[in-house]
Amino acid sequence: MVQEWDVIIVGGGIGGLSCAHFLRRAGFKIRVLERSPGLNEVGAGLQLAPNAQAAFKEMKLLDDLLPLGWPMHKVELRSTRSGLLATMEAGAEPLLAIHRAQLQKLLARDLGSEILQFGVNITAMREEGDRVQVTLQNGETLTGKLLIGADGLRSQVRSQFFPPVTFRYSGTSSYRGIAQAPGLLKDPHVGAEIWGPGCRFGYSHITSAEIYWYLTFDSPPQEQRTPAACHAHALQLMESFPEQKPIVERTNVAHLIHTDISDIKPTANWVRGRVALMGDAAHATTPNLGQGAAQAIEDAWALGLTLQKFDAEPIALEAYLAVREDKALWIVRQSWSFQSICHLKKPWQQSLRDFCVKHVPAGLQKASFARMYKPEVGLSHP
Ligand SMILES: Cc1cc2nc3c(=O)[nH]c(=O)nc-3n(C[C@H](O)[C@H](O)[C@H](O)COP(=O)(O)OP(=O)(O)OC[C@H]3O[C@@H](n4cnc5c(N)ncnc54)[C@H](O)[C@@H]3O)c2cc1C
C-alpha cells in the first residue's frame, strides 16, 4: 500500500517532534517515522534556553511546558582552583531545566498515531521525480513531497543522500544522572558548572526533589563499562568536587547514562533537492553551550516558516538552509573552542584561564548570550 504525505520526517526526537508541530500548524500533512518502539521513560536532564522556550510559545505549548520543568534563576561558573568565575543571572526568561522524557512526552502528546509512528525500520529511501519514497521493513511504502532527516548524529538519511561528514571525538566522555536529593542544595533555583582538573561537574534541579547532573572527563572513545562501574568511576572523579559528591551518591545507578562527546565538523551540506537534514543530523554540537536541542527546535521553526511561504517544494528547503546555516554552525564552532579550556590539568594553565574568564568584558559576554538566545528562524520572525 502506498501512502501520500506532504512531508515525511525520519526521527521522532526533540527536533523531529518539534518539526511535526510547526508543519502541522502550517497545514501540512506529515508523518514522523521513529525507530524506537515507544517513548523512552529513562534519560537525563536538559537545559532549555530562552530561544527554545520562544519556540514552545510559538507552538502554543509554553504554558504546558513550564510546569514540567524547573526555572533556574542563576547559573554559576566555578573552578576548583579559583572559586567563582562568573554568574549568569536569568533575565525575564530563566533557563528551564527539565527531564528529557517529560519534554518528549509533551511534544508527542497530541500528535497521535496517524502522525507519529513508532518501531519503524526503514529499508530504502529514494528521490524520484517530484516525490521521495520511503520503504519500511513491514512492506509499507510512503511517498512524500519532501523528506526531513531528523534522525540524529548517526543519521540514516544523511548516509543515504549526502556526502560523508567528519565526526570529531572531543577527547571527553560524560556521565549523566538524576539524583533524588530534596533539600540538598541551599538554593534549588541556582545551578552550577565547576571546572576541575581534567574533568567538569554540572548540576541543576529539574523538579523540587530531583537534581540532574553531568560529569565530563578526559577519556579514549568507546570505553565500555557497566552502570555500576560508571558509578564507581564517577564517585572517584567526584573526589575533585567533595561538596557535590552526595549528588552523585544519591543517583539511581541503573539510569546512569554514559555518552562519548562528539560533534560533526561544520558543513552546510544539509539540503539536496527534496531532502533536508535538521538538528543533530545536520549540525551535531558538543554540549558545552547547552544549545543542541535548542538549535534543533529553531530548525523546526524555520522549516515551518519556509514551507508556509514556499509550500512543500525544494525552494523552501533552500530558504531554510539560508536562514539557519550561520547560527547553527556558529554554535558548533563556539562550543568546540569552549571545550578546550574546561579540562585543563596544569595548575598554571588553570590559573591563567580562570583569570581570563573572570575578566572577560561584560559587553562581550552579553553580546554572545544575546546572539545565542535570539531565535534565528528568518522570514516573518523578527
Ligand atoms: C551530554 C549531553 C548533554 C546535552 N545537554 C543539552 C542541554 O542542556 N540543552 C540542549 O539544548 N541540548 C543538549 N544536548 C544536545 C541535545 O541532546 C541534542 O542536540 C538533541 O537531542 C538533538 O535532537 P535531534 O532531534 O536532532 O536528535 P536526537 O535527539 O538524536 O533524536 C533523533 C531521533 O531519531 C531516531 N532515529 C535515529 N535513526 C533513525 C532511523 N534510521 N529511523 C527512524 N528513527 C531514527 C532516534 O531514535 C531519535 O529518537 C546535550 C547532549 C549531550 C550528549
| Residue 379 pLDDT level (bands cut at 50, 70, 90) | low
pLDDT in tens, 150-191: 999 999 999 999 999 999 999 999 999 999 999 999 999 999
Q: Is residue 275, in this structure, part of any structural domain at all? A: yes
| Ligand 1 atom with the shortest distance to the CA of 174 | 1
pLDDT at position 122 over 80: yes
Q: Which residues contact 172 (CB under 8 A, 6 or more apart)?
A: 216, 217, 218, 219, 260, 261, 339, 343
Q: Is residue 256, in this structure, part of any structural domain at all? A: no
pLDDT at position 343 over 90: no
pLDDT at position 16 over 80: yes
- Measured by CA distance, the residue closest to atom 7 of ligand 1 is 290
- Please tell me the distance between residue 254's alpha carbon and the centre of ligand 1 in angstroms: 21
pLDDT at position 225 over 60: yes
- Please tell me the distance between residue 100's alpha carbon and the centre of ligand 1 in angstroms: 10
Domain of 138, in residue numbers:
2-167+263-373
Q: Is residue 29, in this structure, part of any structural domain at all? A: yes
Does the pTM exceed 0.85?
yes
35, 99, 157, 169, best to mutate for ligand 1 pocket (most atoms within 8 Å of CB): 35
| Ligand 1 atom with the shortest distance to the CA of 153 | 30
The pLDDT assigned to 322 comes to 97
Least trusted range by pLDDT, from 80-94, 119-133, 280-294: 80-94
| Ligand 1 atom with the shortest distance to the CA of 285 | 19
Q: Is residue 200, in this structure, part of any structural domain at all? A: no
Which backbone phi and psi does 136 adopt, to 5 degrees? -105, 160
Q: Is residue 216, in this structure, part of any structural domain at all? A: no
- Work out the average pLDDT over 6-32: 97
The pLDDT assigned to 110 comes to 87
Number of domains in the chain: 1
Q: Is residue 103, in this structure, part of any structural domain at all? A: yes
pLDDT at position 382 over 60: no
- Measured by CA distance, the residue closest to atom 42 of ligand 1 is 35
Q: Is residue 290, in this structure, part of any structural domain at all? A: yes
In angstroms, the CA 212 to CA 200 distance is 14
Give the CATH number for residue 359. 3.50.50.60
pLDDT in tens, 205-215: 999 999 999 99
The set of protein residues with a Cβ atom below 6 angstroms from ligand 1 is: 10-16, 33-36, 46-47, 120, 122, 150-152, 156, 174, 176, 214, 259, 279-281, 287, 290-294, 296
Q: Is residue 378, in this structure, part of any structural domain at all? A: no
pLDDT in tens, 241-300: 999 999 999 999 988 999 999 999 999 999 999 999 999 999 999 999 999 999 999 999
Work out the end-to-end distance of the chain between its first and last CA atoms, rounded to an integer number of angstroms: 43
